Amino acid sequence: MKKIKIVILLLLILSLITGCWDKVEIEDRAFVMAIGIDTSNQAKNYIVTFQFPNVKQVTSAAGGGGGGGGQPNFSISEVGDTVFSASRHVSTRLDKRLFLGHTKAVILGKDVVSNRDKFLEVLDTLDRSYELSRKLRLLVADGKAQDILLKNYKFDPDIGVYIDDIFKQYNRTSIFPNIDYNKITKSLHDTNGNAIIPVISSGKDELKIAGSAIIKDYKLAGWLSDGENMGYMWLMGFVKGGDITFNMPTTDGKEVKIPFNITNTVMKRQVTEQDGKIIYKIKYDVEGEVTEYSFQKHGEMFDTNVLGTMENKANKVIEKMINDSLKRFQKDLKVDMVGVGDYIQKYKPGLWSKVGSEWKTRFPDVVVEPVVSTHIRRIGLFK
Amino acid sequence: MIKNNDKISENQLSILLFTTMLGAGILSLPSDVTKAAGPNGLIVILLGGILALIFARFICRIASIFPTETFVEYSAKLMTKPVSVILSIFLVAYFLIFCSLNLRIFGEVAKSYLLNSTPIEVIMITLLFTSGYIVRYGIEPIARLSEILFPIMVIPTMIILLPAITDIDLSNFLPILRISPLKLLKGILLTAYSFVGFEILYVIFPYIQLENKLKKSINISFFSIIFFYIYVTFYTMGIFGYKETSVQLWPLLTVIKSINFPGFFIENLESLIMGIWTFAVFTSISAFHYAATLSLSKLIKAREHTYLVIPLIPIIYFLALIPDSIVEVYKYASYASILTLFFVIILPILMFIAIKLRGKGMKNNEEN
């Protein structure tokens, strides 16, 4: 009797040690690093492209075997009525299971963002996914996303990592917004459909991220060029680095182009109401260094007056940048994407209860007064 | 008669209360409070927590008049036998409902995030039998387990969230208190639901070794959980803003997805948080399971509660399987919070009135 009990017990234990229900071997997974979504004109709605590294090659290289030939990356496209169904139907042609937990970038084709309904569908798929990270980079392609993902790039064949690394250097230029997926959805939720998404384009064997797409009411409304984009970054207070160039007249009546390298900025905002007009004041304190002047003029720069003139010139350039960008938003697009409404809502709730309901019509008339004061802290190694 | 080794100290009580209150609700808490109170979510948690604390102390005060009896016994003295029996049955049902709600939400989250092809029944049964195992041994092991799991739950959660501090936009908490008082009150009542769990005081009170710092340990327990809730909600609201937080199902898990842990070899920390959260759910489930078993055993005047542990498991299991979908789970949860309102606020007041009315006859038992 006791023996039978033990045998039954052992058999029961046997059922527990079969291992995990959900086990997937690592070689059988396709770790998708980048996803591209395009619309399709055929029967199905979307073309979805997945790009994932060749795990076999990666593992054999790490082991020092050196073998494991083949290309470093694979891309596969699939059509589907929804993005999700495309990601499932891929499995009819692929011997691996897609895993989206490590995806670094999602690239939307221009057609997707131009079509309100499709853009909403795609956004919801991304939002509801259990696997997708919220740190991923969402970008708009200037053409088809598929064209970007089906190429091999020489600097880093892994497009997801490539894009992520470019973003890490955003503050060297400030010409594309350092906005990840998390911030884009927050912006879309907060403003009911307005956001800025960085733009990606591909050359023969390299990628470029510059400028941004303006989304108004869940739809592509226009593009920001590099300069306008920096103006936008100024308005949002995102600028933490980058460079601007201004013309500096010299003592002999000529002009020199001078690069000013921004190292830090502090933004302060204030809203007042005068005679029914809303006045939005932004004050910037910009710190930075001048890195070029003229070889002939060595010794001249060691003068606070010269630096003062330079600071004034820099102020003008930055203010112009901001005003150009503002003109885009206030006059052309008539959409508040620069956080004025958001600021009033949070810091002047009394004023917001008056103007909030008709903010769309009020925004173009807001008087924005940027005041920039630049401080040149360093001048390089020569006086 | 209560065995001596089955008593818990007051320090253990404060940890037990903390781990019981910290359960499945933590995942959806930020979304609940932002829906109710917009940018004032943190204030609502603070006030809701203090409200819950007041009633917890109230329950304790009533229970301390009958230091050796559970609710089942002293309610009979206060409000006649038939009423007491009905209330006790409701109390058992209440504990079972919250046990099963926790269990179901755990199953849903585990299935969608971790174990996609494992049947939810298996996930739930595994947890339930583990709980049954510890409940059989009484309250002292449960409290000791809570003591062990408490630092494992709290410290990693706080550290994991820390790198996200740079992403927090403090202006998301503005404007402060521009909300109608009625809405604020509703929000407070809604958050009080997140503190569900201290009602186990109704039945575990006689198992506490009283050393005159009961009030202090309850205060500590409540203020630490208020702090913990505020900490988590602060990150969620600070990163997403209240508009986005209020439409998310499990904001805590989503916020973990958006954290960049610098220089760490694991990229996605959800699984880590899920592991920690499993402990939180387990401690809640076992405490509710124990409370239900204990009150049932007192109700039918059983000598030991251990025989009732296993029979309750299928009941909890089937209760947990009643809701059809995750949407229905939360619908039932909101119904259950009406019961909470009764057991947390109305019942203590009723009992207090009963004590005042019958007070003259029981003066010799006045609180010690």
Q: What is the pLDDT of residues B204-255, one digit of tens each?
A: 888 888 888 888 999 999 999 999 999 999 999 999 888 888 888 889 888 8
H-type alpha helices, chain B: 10-21, 25-37, 41-65, 71-79, 81-113, 120-136, 139-161, 181-192, 201-204, 214-246, 251-257, 270-299, 309-321, 326-341, 347-358
In 3D space, the residue among B256, B161, B113 whose CA is nearest the CA of residue A135 turns out to be: B256
Looking at chain B, the whole-number percentage of residues with pLDDT higher than 70 is 94
> According to the model, what pLDDT value does residue B151 have?
92
B263 band by pLDDT with thresholds 50, 70 and 90: low
> According to the model, what pLDDT value does residue A14 have?
77
Domains and CATH numbers, chain A: 21-224 (no CATH), 232-378 (3.30.300.210)
CA distance A126 to A108: 12
String of DSSP letters for A349-378 = HHHHHHHGGGHHHHGGG-EEEEEEEEEEEE
A36 band by pLDDT with thresholds 50, 70 and 90: very high
How would you class B17 by CB atoms within 10 Å of its CB: exposed for 0-12, middle for 13-18, buried for 19 or more?
A: buried
pLDDT at A68 over 60: no
Query: Which one of B31, B253, B257 makes the best mutation probe of the A interface by having the most chain A beta carbons within 10 Å?
Result: B257
Mean pLDDT value of segment A23-44: 84
pLDDT at B366 over 70: no
Beta-bridge mates of residue B259: none
User: Greater confidence, A27 or B24?
Assistant: B24
String of DSSP letters for B276-291 = HHHHHHHHHHHHHHHH
- The 10 Å Cβ neighbour count of residue B108 is 20
User: Greater confidence, A22 or B155?
Assistant: B155
What is the crossing angle of helices B81-113 and B270-299, to 10°?
160
- CATH fold group of domain B4-358: Amino acid/polyamine transporter I (1.20.1740)
- The secondary structure element, H or E, covering residue A323 is helix A304-327
- Encoding tokens for residue B350? 């009723």
> According to the model, what pLDDT value does residue B321 have?
92
CA distance A263 to A267: 14
CA distance B236 to B168: 9
Distance of CA A340 to the CA centre of its chain: 21
Size of interface A-B (CB pairs under 8 A): 56
A23 band by pLDDT with thresholds 50, 70 and 90: confident
pLDDT 10s digits, B139-176: 899 999 999 999 999 998 888 888 888 888 888 888 77
Distances from the Cα of B78 to the Cα of A242, B88, B94, B208, B327, angstroms: 75, 13, 21, 22, 40
Which range has the top average pLDDT, A299-303, A345-349, B249-253? B249-253
pLDDT 10s digits, B31-87: 988 888 888 889 899 999 999 999 999 888 888 888 888 888 888 888 888 888 999
B4 band by pLDDT with thresholds 50, 70 and 90: low
Pairing mode, strands A242-249 and A105-108: unpaired
Indicate yes or no: CB of A182 within 8 angstroms of CB of B239: yes
B2 band by pLDDT with thresholds 50, 70 and 90: very low
pLDDT at A338 over 90: no
Q: Where are the domains of chain B?
A: 4-358
How far B185 CA lies from chain A's nearest CA (Å)? 21
User: Greater confidence, B142 or B190?
Assistant: B142
Chain B CB contacts of A102 below 8 Å: 267-268
Here the ipTM equals: 0.81
A18 band by pLDDT with thresholds 50, 70 and 90: low
pLDDT at B368 over 60: no
**Chain B residues contacting A via beta carbons under 8 Å:** 112-118, 122, 167, 171, 174-175, 178, 239-241, 243-244, 247, 254, 257-260, 267-268
Beta-bridge mates of residue A259: A245
Indicate yes or no: CB of A21 within 8 angstroms of CB of B239: no
> According to the model, what pLDDT value does residue A67 have?
47
pLDDT 10s digits, A156-186: 888 888 888 888 887 787 788 888 888 899 8
Distance of CA A179 to the CA centre of its chain: 4
> According to the model, what pLDDT value does residue A1 have?
79
DSSP state of B174: P
CA distance B153 to B280: 7
